[in-house]
Amino acid sequence: MPDENEYQKVLELISYGKFDEAFKKIKPMLKSEPENPGLLLDAGYICANLGNFTDAIKYYEKTIEMVPDSASGYAGLGFVYNLQDQPEKALEYFKKGLEKSPDNALIHFEVGETLLEMERFEEALKSYYKAIQFSGSETEVETLHRIAQVHLGMNNPDKTLEIAKNILSIDPSYATIYYVMAGAEAMKENWDSAKSHLEKYLKYSPEDVDAKEMLKHIEEEMSK
C-alpha cells in the first residue's frame, strides 16, 4: 500500500483539478506498486483529464487485467472515449461496466450524460432515473438538473419547470437551474419570467457567454 499521507495528497490535488501535480506525485507510487488497482484507476483519471488518452486507456486496461470484474475500469474507458468524442464506444464500455455492477449509480449517470449529448432523450431519462434509484439523495439534485435538461430538449417546458422548482425546494442555493428555467420560459414565450431567471443565473455565472446571448435575444423579443 502507498504511504497514506502521500496518497491523500494525490486525492486532494485531483479534487482541486491540479492534475499535473497529482501525476508527479502518483508516478513513484505506481513505480513501486505497478499492479495496485486503486493507483491505476487514479492514474487513468489523471491522464484522461490531462488529455493523455493513450496512457489513460493503458492504465484502465491494466486495472481490468488485474481485476476482471472492475466496473470502475470499464467506466474509466467510457469516460476517456467520451472525452475523445466517441460516444458509441463510450456506451460500449459503460455497458460492460454495468454488466459487472448493475446498481452502479455513477455509470448510469455517465450513460445518461452520453445519451443526452447524443440527443437520445428517452434513453437518457431512463439512465438518469436509474442513477437516482441507486444513489439515493447524494446526487439527486444534479441528476434532476439533467432530467430537466432532457425535458427541455424534448420541448416539454412545463415538465422542465416542474422539475426545476422541485430542485429549488431541495436546494434553494442551486442557482445553475435558473438557466434551464429561463430556456423553458423562453420556449413558452414568457419573456419576463425568462429574463428574471436568466438574471438570477448570471449573478452566479457572470462570464457565461451563452447566457449573455440568450439574455440579449430575450430583451430583443421583449422590445418588439
Residue 2 predicted with pLDDT over 80: no
Write out pLDDT tens, residues 122-180.
999 999 999 999 986 667 899 999 999 999 999 999 999 999 999 999 999 999 999 99
Greatest C-alpha distance within the chain: 69
The pLDDT, as a whole number, for residue 3 is 80
Every domain of the chain and the residues it spans: 1-96
Ramachandran quadrant class, 119 (left: phi over 0; alpha: psi -120 to 50; beta: rest): left
Cα→Cα distances 15→9, 173, 205, 223, Å: 10, 22, 21, 45
Which pLDDT score is estimated for 1?
66
What pLDDT shows up at residue 135? 84
CATH superfamily of the 1-96 domain:
Tetratricopeptide repeat domain (1.25.40.10)
Reduced to 3 DSSP states, what percent helix, strand and coil does the chain have, rounded to the nearest 5?
A: 80, 0, 20
- pTM confidence score: 0.87
Please compute the mean of the pLDDT values over residues 194-199 and round it to a whole number: 97
Location of C-alpha cell 495496485? 36
Tell me if 148 sits within 8 A of 111, measured CB to CB.
no
pLDDT tens-place string over residues 40-99: 999 999 999 999 999 999 999 999 999 999 999 999 999 999 999 999 999 999 999 999
Q: Is the pLDDT of residue 4 over 90?
A: no
